[in-house]
């Protein structure tokens, strides 16, 4: 099939009320609007190609994140952007199914992969400058550096998973399926009306360290 990859992402951490408007504009501009524009521009071209040739096949893969299925603390903008991409992708899948059998869609939800996304501020445009980082943002950057840097699944391995999934028409693509246990817990919270489960329940010492660091004067 002919493949379209809407794959661009930047990260920003910190307590959600401490992010500036420019932080929001930068992250949503890349993570969400990049995918929006890709879908808007390429889908009509793919539909036209499919209409002209009954044998033509296409597939659109949007990169979200496990953050699009969870709501980890201290990384609100990123979570919002990736949840939006998951929703956009699910809707795209359903919309395509209404009008064609020749084009499919998938959403990629990687966990921590050593790609350099934790250093995405190096690509931040000059017209959306960052303000002096807050304590929570510095802590978030340190946590991101450690998590991304310790990733064991490589980008090339994830890419192969994507190609395999697209060939099989699989919608949800995961780099770390074991992380789905946390997604299940979140869905159970939603279905049962429970308050959100502590994301550090399995490692309470990490939660204690983060709370202590944020509450320290």
In a domain, 194, yes or no: no
CATH number reported for the structural domain that contains residue 59 in this entry: 3.40.50.720
In a domain, 119, yes or no: yes
In a domain, 90, yes or no: yes
Residue 38 confidence class, pLDDT cut points 50, 70, 90: very high
Per-residue pLDDT at 142 = 82
In a domain, 184, yes or no: no
Q: Summarize the confidence of residues 120-144 as an average pLDDT.
A: 83
pLDDT over 90 (residue 62)? yes
Per-residue pLDDT at 118 = 67
Q: Is the pTM of this model over 0.75?
A: yes
% pLDDT > 70, the chain: 96
Instruction: Give the chain's domain count.
Output: 1
pLDDT over 90 (residue 152)? no
Residue 126 has, within 13 A of its CA and on its CB side, a CA count of 0
Better-scored residue on pLDDT, 4 or 139: 4
Beta-carbon count within 10 A of 146 CB = 11
Per-residue pLDDT at 74 = 93
Convert the pLDDT of each residue in 81-90 to its tens digit. 999 999 999 9
What residue has token string 């159970």? Answer: 188
Per-residue pLDDT at 125 = 77
Q: Summarize the confidence of residues 74-100 as an average pLDDT.
A: 98
Q: Summarize the confidence of residues 5-15 as an average pLDDT.
A: 92
Per-residue pLDDT at 40 = 98
In a domain, 199, yes or no: no
In a domain, 130, yes or no: yes
- Using alpha carbons, select from 161, 159, 169 the residue that is nearest to residue 60: 169
In a domain, 76, yes or no: yes
In a domain, 88, yes or no: yes
**Dihedral pair phi/psi, residue 108, rounded to 5°:** -95, 125
pLDDT over 90 (residue 121)? no
- 69: containing domain: 2-178
Per-residue pLDDT at 134 = 92
Q: Summarize the confidence of residues 184-207 as an average pLDDT.
A: 95
Per-residue pLDDT at 116 = 64
**Coil/strand/helix, residue 91:** helix
- Alpha-carbon separation of residue 119 from 99, 124, 143, 151, 205 (angstroms): 40, 10, 12, 15, 26
**Gap between the Cα atoms of 17 and 19, Å rounded:** 6
Per-residue pLDDT at 34 = 97
**Dihedral pair phi/psi, residue 167, rounded to 5°:** -65, -30
Q: Give the chain's mean pLDDT.
A: 92
Q: In this structure, what token pair is assigned to residue 74?
A: 């201290």
Handedness of CA 17, 19, 20, 22 (dihedral sign): negative
Q: In this structure, what token pair is assigned to residue 83?
A: 């949840």
Per-residue pLDDT at 200 = 93
Per-residue pLDDT at 11 = 87
Q: What is the DSSP letter of 127?
A: T
């Amino acid at each position: 099939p002919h493949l379209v990859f809407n794959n661009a992402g930047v990260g920003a951490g910190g307590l959600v009320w401490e992010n500036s408007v420019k932080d929001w504009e930068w992250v949503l501009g890349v993570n969400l609007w990049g995918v929006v524009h890709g879908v808007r521009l390429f889908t009509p071209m793919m539909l036209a190609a499919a209409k002209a040739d009954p044998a033509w096949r296409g597939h659109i893969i949007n990169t979200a994140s496990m953050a699009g299925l969870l709501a980890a603390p201290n990384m609100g903008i990123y979570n919002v952007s990736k949840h939006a991409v998951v929703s956009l992708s699910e809707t795209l899948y359903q919309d395509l199914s209404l009008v064609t059998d020749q084009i499919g869609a998938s959403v990629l939800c990687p966990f921590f992969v050593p790609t350099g996304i934790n250093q995405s501020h190096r690509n931040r445009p000059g017209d959306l400058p960052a303000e002096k980082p807050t304590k929570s943002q510095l802590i978030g950057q340190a946590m991101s550096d450690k998590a991304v840097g310790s990733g064991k699944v490589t980008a090339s391995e994830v890419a192969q998973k994507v190609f395999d999934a697209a060939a099989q028409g699989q919608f949800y693509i995961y780099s770390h399926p074991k992380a789905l246990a946390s997604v299940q817990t979140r869905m159970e919270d939603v279905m049962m009306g429970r308050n959100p489960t502590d994301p550090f329940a399995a490692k309470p010492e990490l939660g204690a360290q983060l709370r202590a660091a944020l509450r320290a004067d």
